[in-house]
Amino acid sequence: MKNSAICSEMQIQNQQAKRQLGVYYLTVLICCFPGIILFVMKGYNESFLWLNGFHHPILDVLMPHLTHIGEGAFLTAIFALLMRKKQPAVVVSLAVSMLLVLVIISPLKHQIFEMWARPLAYFKKETFHYVALRDWHANAFPSGHSAAAACILAYFALVSQKEKWAVLIALIAVFAAYTRVYIGVHFLGDILVGVGVGMLISATVFVLIYARLLRYFEKLSKESFHKWQIFFQLAAALTIVISLYELIRTYYI
């Protein structure tokens, strides 16, 4: 009876996770659809210039900092701290997803598309709106920030209790990607592909390992589960310290 109850609870968790992810992915796709149309109609450079042309002095101050929503290591660590007790299977799934984002995006940016330049390499800074905290010229495709945000926030949506929260989280993911165009460091095509890669990775990991991880953690003894919690806490705390140091060193010093 106990095993049957555990299986039933896991099935409910899995179904709820699928529903929340479905709402998240659908919302992101709906929001990205106008961007896809704009990209098709105006092309790679012109779609960027058109979208980058909408700005406001207040947003000029906020956007260079809000774009850090896409800092993957920091977001992952925060999620691990929040969910280490109630959702360990989701924490591990997210960690695997972020490793895959790194493994996939890094070679694309630095080897395969190494010569894919950013807007600063195509246009003079005076000819478009540039408010980034530092100058970026190369390694544009695809957008790592957009991929990380789309991937990580999928798991925030997964553990959310209501569909309206999944919709809100999806809007945050799209916003994080848009900030890259607003501050002038990525073309529209870069962020669209980045978002697509991030969603594909999170969906693949969810399908392949999430249910297995649920079963694994359900079978653990209290002592083993407590050890996992301590590991999550220490790893997350260390990651937060390192990622904050790198963020400050890269953008603010």
CA angle 236, 179, 117 (to 5 degrees): 100
Q: How confident is the model at residue 11 (pLDDT cuts 50, 70, 90)?
A: low
HSE-CB for 136 with a 13 A CA cutoff: 22
Mean local confidence (pLDDT), 117-123 = 90
| Structure confidence at residue 2 (pLDDT) | 44
- Asked if residue 73 has pLDDT above 70, the reply is yes
| Structure confidence at residue 9 (pLDDT) | 55
Share of the chain above pLDDT 70, in %: 94
Q: What is the pTM of this model?
A: 0.90
**Tokens representing residue 174 in the block:** 């799209």
The candidate with the shortest Cα–Cα distance to 217, out of 209, 130, 251, is: 209
- Asked if residue 70 has pLDDT above 90, the reply is no
- Asked if residue 231 has pLDDT above 60, the reply is yes
Worst-scoring range by mean pLDDT, 80-84, 139-143, 149-153, 187-191?
Answer: 80-84
- The string over 177-193, giving b where at least 16 C-beta atoms fall within 10 Å of a residue's C-beta and e elsewhere, is bbbbbbbbbbbbbbbbb
Q: What is the pLDDT of residues 49-69, one digit of tens each?
A: 999 999 999 999 999 999 998
CB 158 within 8 A of CB 90: yes
Q: What is the pLDDT of residues 94-117, one digit of tens each?
A: 999 999 999 999 999 888 988 888
CA 157 → CA 75, 141, 151, 207, 246, distances in Å?
Answer: 13, 26, 10, 15, 27
d(CA 108, CA 240): 26
**Tokens representing residue 207 in the block:** 């399908």
Mean local confidence (pLDDT), 119-147 = 90
Q: What is the pLDDT of residues 180-198, one digit of tens each?
A: 999 999 999 999 999 999 9
- Asked if residue 8 has pLDDT above 80, the reply is no
**134 residue type, one letter:** R
| Structure confidence at residue 1 (pLDDT) | 44
Angle between helices 144-159 and 163-182 (to 10 degrees): 170
Domains and CATH numbers, the chain: 2-251 (1.20.144)
E strand or H helix that includes residue 156: helix 144-159
| Average per-residue pLDDT for the chain | 89
Length of the chain: 253
Mean local confidence (pLDDT), 20-49 = 95
Give yes or no for a cis peptide into 142 (omega within 30° of 0): yes
CB 132 within 8 A of CB 183: yes
